[in-house]
Structure 1
Amino acid sequence: MIGGHNSGCSYTQVLNHLGAAKDINGVFKWHPELDPGHYHLKLGTQHNNVDHINHDMWKGDIISGCCDLPSAWQMGHNMSLSILTGSQIDLVNFAFITLFSDPAVNMLYPFSMNKYLGISGEGPEDASIPPVLLASQIIEASELSFPLPDLNDESTELTFEEVLAAQSNSDLPSTSLHQVQSDPSAPPLPGGPGVHPEDYLLFKNHWIHKQTICRLIINKDFVSKSCNRLEHVHVGYTKVNK
């Protein structure tokens, strides 16, 4: 799939790609005539700068069937040893035979204790910056001079605008928040097994689930890879189950 080599993708994006690939594979099994087969991507005029596609960057035989993996690995091993031997690194640090004699050694998991290698986008810590306050030094919410409404209280029904106003006004110590009364004209709250009334907000006389609000506001640009794939088909599509 296009974008399959993205090493910075999240776990959710990987699941979306796998789900889309599974859907495509199922379609090709039922309709093999739709499978275009393998093909090369068109890189336009930028292919000269791509190392693994530019033929000038390859040395020797590049046919995969003629490649001997053990000898290629041994050649790379000898090249790395020759470079490390000429450096100032202690021999103990690149004694590969001794280091990898233990089968529990994992290069991707060298620190154990659920720690992995990574790249931090933040710079080194500045010693001039004061340390972060401990939890015991942080003022509790109950000690503030103004009351805060309980947003999880079932007896308090807040509209979407009122929740936004309450959150924006909570940072102003000079303004006290008034207790929002329930709207007598509001429709009944949704009910049923597994339905929590505190998960809904009243908006224009309709109860809207908070997840829907987050999806429309925060994740408005999210596009599902497999659910709406048929929406991109403009011609040549006919429903099978009529």
Structure 2
Amino acid sequence: MNWQIAVWIYKKELKLFFGTYMGPLVLGGTAFLNALFIMILNFNGRANYEEATIVTFISFMTTILIAMIIISMGSIVEERNKGTLELLFTSPITDADIVLGKFLFGVTICGIITVFINGLFPILLYSYWQAPLYIVASGTIGVFLLGTFTYSIGLFGSSIAKNQMISLLISVLIILTLWVVGYFSHLFQATTRKVLFHLHIFSHYINFSKGVLPLTGIMFFVTGSLLFLYLTVKVLESRRWRG
């Protein structure tokens, strides 16, 4: 793995993102949806900061999922459709370099959304609802981890799809599968139920909005991201060998 090449790919992705309509669309759209959801759901008879905090970070959960799926759905598939992926394959660039550079870009955008786009609303939680700072901080960390996890799923979907719509569909199906398995875990025996519930995204995420930094939740999002990045590298390697 060559860090210089990964950083070059990372900078190329940033330039493309902020040099086209995609940057203002994603960042502006995320800010608009956050404001819309919070005005509708949050300041509507909420009695205390616990309710307000949970609703706020559920709103963030929705917008970060949408934003990171949109950003990632064309990340690799568009490279292939434009012919630039073949150029990367014929260059002294490894598949891990490509995936790492693109993932660093996703982490950066996720950080921008988490800190600068979402950041206004935790301030409101602290000033208006008197929510403790540790709850605001843990919820923000949860949003960031969920965003990077979602982006890694999107990268994987983009690596195996033939166009952006199929990439979007694959990513959504993976996330929905990980979303609903927990709700049906009670239908299975103890061991299977425990495994399925552990794969439930929402059960891991919601703890962050309650002021907790659960080790299992952190490990779930981190290891899940690494798993999908590994799968993405393997898909690119198979495409390289198939020509």
Q: Which band: TM-score by shorter chain?
A: under 0.3
Structure with a larger share of its residues in helix: 2
Rg larger in structure: 1
How does the TM-score come out when normalised to structure 2? Answer: 0.18
How does the TM-score come out when normalised to structure 1? Answer: 0.18
